[in-house]
Amino acid sequence: MRHEDIWRAIDTLAAEHGLSASGLARKAGLDPTSFNHSKRSAADGKLRWPSSESLAKILIATGARLEDFTALVSGARAMPEGRVKGRTKIPLIGLAQAGTEGFFDDGGYPAGAGWDEVELPATADANAYALAISGESMEPVYRTGDKIIVSPAAPVRVGDRVVARTQEGAVMAKELARRTAGRIELASLNPSFPVLRFTAGEVLWMHRIIWASQ
């Protein structure tokens, strides 16, 4: 059993039951951060493994058998490509709220209470979430009230529209204009707004926007 296979199986089991990894932990009576991506390795790079107790609790909570879980670990059973079975809704908050503490864990994944829900278009990312746009910086593409779906699992490349969080706590929807080893530039689609420039360390995370309701 490889480390990444165990954690992938936990993520898939959560998705099959319409949950994020944090939601699965809560359902099993565990600390909501137990399965966060930031908990899967230590600061020194040492791999962290889920305990047998936590695995037993998520099997009880979901009604899954041990054979079901080991099939996910081995890859003998997997989620159909492009969708999350049984998951019809994802967490939703306003973009203006997103910078408030408690809505994201330290890995940038949805956490805590206070999220509403929105119907889920097809995505295989168990940690996808939605934000309601506010402000004018992304006009005319995104207007106030539009909802965007964001995927932490999707690769981010220059030219992609992203949601980013800075060390100061600001959460913003922008376009990744430039990224080097030391610098990140985020552009607004509205030319009236300036390009924002950061050192790489000033941006905690960036997630790709994969869908928008307009």
Q: Domain count of the chain?
A: 2
What is the rounded CA–CA span in Å between residue 82 and residue 179?
Answer: 28
What is the rounded CA–CA span in Å between residue 6 and residue 3?
Answer: 5
- Which one of 74, 99, 131 terminates a domain? 74
Strand 89-94 relative to strand 129-132, pairing:
parallel
Tell me whether residue 83 is in a domain: no
Q: What is the pLDDT of residues 53-92, one digit of tens each?
A: 999 999 999 998 888 888 888 765 544 444 444 445 667 7
Q: Are residues 99 and 189 in the same domain?
A: yes
E strand or H helix that includes residue 204: strand 203-213
Q: What is the DSSP string of 160-191?
A: -EEEEEETTS-EEEEEEEEE-SSEEEEE-SST
Q: Are residues 18 and 57 in the same domain?
A: yes
CA dihedral of residues 69, 48, 37, 32 (deg, nearest 10) = 80
How sure is the predictor about 107, in pLDDT bands with cuts at 50, 70 and 90?
A: low
Nearest to residue 50, comparing CAs of 61, 37, 42, 40? Answer: 40
CATH code of the domain covering residue 120: 2.10.109.10
Per the CB < 8 A criterion, the answer to whether 176 and 189 are in contact is no
Three-state secondary-structure class, residue 66: helix
Per the CB < 8 A criterion, the answer to whether 58 and 28 are in contact is yes
What is the rounded CA–CA span in Å between residue 197 and residue 143?
Answer: 23
Question: Is residue 187 scored above 50 in pLDDT?
Answer: yes
Q: What is the pLDDT of residues 116-173, one digit of tens each?
A: 776 655 555 677 888 888 888 878 778 888 888 888 888 888 999 999 999 988 888 8
Tell me whether residue 53 is in a domain: yes
Quick one: tokens of 162? Answer: 């992203």
CATH code of the domain covering residue 56: 1.10.260.40
